[in-house]
Amino acid sequence: MNNISNKTILRGLVVALIAIGFTSCLDDLNLTPIDPDVVTSASVYEDPAAYKQVLAKTYAGLALTGQQGPAGAGDVGGIDEGESSYIRQTFYMQELTTDEAVIGWNDKTIKDFHNMSWAASDAFIAAMYYRIFYQISLCNEFLRETTSDKLNSRGHSDIQGEVDTYRAEVRFLRALSYWHALDFFGSVPFVTEDDPIGAFNPPQTDAQSLFNYVESELLAIESALMAPRSNEYARADQGAAWMLLAKLYLNAETYTGANRYSDCLTYCEKVIGGGYSLEPKYYDLFGADNDNSPELIFLVASDGKRSQTWGATTFLLHAPIGGSMNPADLGTNSGWGGLRTTSAFVNKFDDISGSTDQRANFHTDGQSLEITDIGVFESGYAIKKFHNTTRNGVQGSDGTFPDTDFPMFRLADAYLMYAEAVKRGGGGDESTALGYLNAIRERAYGGSTSGNISEYNLDFIIDERARELYWENHRRTDLRRFGLFTSSSYLWPWKGGVANGIGVDECRNVFPIPAADLTANPTLSQVGGAGCY
């Protein structure tokens, strides 16, 4: 995303005073949110302009990793700063655990993701856990400091309306992180802006209560957010809240045992009616000027000059480049020789050349289809989805750090969710659902109707979601919803650490609360994954 100063989302970042005290084990793991102690809440909020700057920090936490560019004064310690990125860690947990991705590196326990053998001491899982709660703590602190009483006491009552919009956005961001906590861990410690500041043991909430909280927060802020596509670029609006509600409801049966498919369909319809449209070319969704896309509903902004990080789309650009690939073809100057995909995913395409279904962005030259050695880059096909070139083929503003924004929510996903909710009995209209599916497929087939379908079932939906949304951090959640993540009924190479794949214990459906947190906070216990950890 170029010209980010005109978009405001990462402009004028400041370090807000963050009173964390979230879980008492943070110091034990050395996974500590960094407070450079250069400002206090009193000094920050003296300036009315600072409220927007602190708002920017809550958004920036989804993209950046610290206070000094791509490396230095990281928000989360105990792990390489680049690997502490919200999007990169989400990729590890959502994609490396599935048929869509493997990685050749030997960093710590990273291969335990494909092997489904992670433990409660895993540093990557701990990093995701603390990144989530770092975000929640940022949001809680902003909400504490922006009440009407605080504004009045500082003589800022004239900006109350503007700040109320900021507060709604921050509540959305907090709900987003709590949704990730629910999806990954199920039962977690819980704290809001109403809890005491400082070290204390927050109580553990169960999955049903956390689901109810996320739902209630999103419903409460719906009218306070700006209308779809009317806010500044990369800031949350009603469309983002509707999309998160739709995803929450689609997975409700996984989280709570009760289906909410009719509610999912309702919010999909709101998103679809929100003024978005499909990007004409699939490849353009993942390039340096995707900030111009009419399809993106909520995204994590990147700028090659102003928001440099080794996470986010920098990771998604560099990590899949290796072997005989030419980095310049993807608008960058180097590759890291790490990420590939499995034959189980490749085989979901009838034609892997990309000449028919243009979503098949595989690099096969010098690569083998089957993965005989995860540690060798040439073992497994490479993927060329995220790139740092514009629609006109021009490289982004920097050869290392891309301008490509990460598409967290986009319209095609709403179309797919609508079709799934219909098929699962949520109401709606099947002919309408077919129209949405064929719109996606016509785009994929370059405007041709040759890939159109006349009927569909749930098996088609799970495969179409893979073809359309791969590497966008949805796959594990989707496989769980379909009962395929741990089951022996669907295998892929190296699932469970075996070349042909094996089923694993259902307790692997959720990740463990870090062991150090359990030791430090006696109110916590492993719940969903107790049998594994």
Per DSSP, the three-state class of 47 is: coil
Residues 6 or more apart whose CB falls under 8 angstroms from that of 272 comprise 411, 414, 415, 418, 436
What pLDDT score was predicted for residue 357?
Answer: 98
Burial 294-309 (b: 16+ CB within 10 A, else e): ebbbbbbbbbbebbbb
Tokens of 328: 């310049």
Distance CA 492, CA 494 (A): 6
Residue 212 · residue 219 · CB < 8 Å: no
Quote the CA–CA distance of 464 and 480 in Å, as a whole number.
16
How many angstroms separate the CA atoms of 63 and 301, rounded? 7
Query: Could you tell me if 278 and 447 are in contact, meaning their C-beta atoms sit under 8 angstroms apart?
Result: no
Question: Which of 51, 14, 231, 235 lies closest to 145, judged by CA?
Answer: 51
For residue 9, the model assigns a pLDDT of 34
The closest alpha carbon to 339, from 367, 316, 361, belongs to 316
Among 408, 407, 410, 400, which residue's Cα sits nearest to residue 315? 400
**pLDDT string in tens for the chain (533-residue length):** 443 333 333 323 332 223 233 333 333 333 344 444 555 667 889 999 999 999 999 999 999 998 777 887 788 878 888 888 999 999 999 999 999 999 999 999 999 999 999 999 999 999 999 999 999 999 999 999 999 999 999 999 999 999 999 999 999 999 999 999 999 999 999 999 999 887 788 999 999 999 999 999 999 999 999 999 999 999 999 999 999 999 999 999 999 999 999 999 999 999 999 999 999 999 999 999 999 899 999 999 999 999 999 999 999 999 999 999 999 999 999 999 999 999 999 999 999 999 999 999 999 999 999 999 999 999 999 999 999 999 999 999 999 999 999 999 999 999 999 999 999 999 999 999 999 999 999 999 999 999 999 999 999 999 999 999 999 999 999 999 999 999 999 999 999 999 999 999 999 999 999 999 999 998 999 988 878 88
Torsion-angle region of residue 192: left (phi > 0), alpha (psi -120 to 50) or beta?
Answer: beta
Contact call for residues 16 and 141 (beta carbons, < 8 A): yes
Structure tokens at 435: 């129209």
Find, among 137, 138, 39, 124, the residue nearest to 90 by Cα.
124
pLDDT value for 200: 80
Query: Exposure of 80 by Cβ count < 10 A (0-12 exposed, 13-18 middle, 19+ buried)?
Result: middle
- Alpha carbon of residue 194 to chain centroid: 27
Judge whether 246 and 414 are in contact, CB under 8 Å: yes
Predicted pLDDT at 40: 67
pTM here is 0.93
Longest C-alpha distance within the chain, in Å?
A: 66
What does residue 104 show for φ and ψ, rounded to 5 degrees?
A: -90, -5
Alpha-carbon span 470 to 459, nearest angstrom: 16
| CB contact at 8 A, 163 and 504 | no
Query: Are the C-beta atoms of 268 and 421 separated by less than 8 Å?
Result: yes
Long-range CB contact pairs, 382-385, < 8 A, 24+: 382/320, 382/321, 382/322, 382/323, 382/325, 382/339, 382/340, 382/341, 383/320, 383/339, 383/340, 383/341, 383/470, 383/471, 384/320, 384/325, 384/329, 384/330, 385/286, 385/316, 385/320, 385/361, 385/470, 385/471
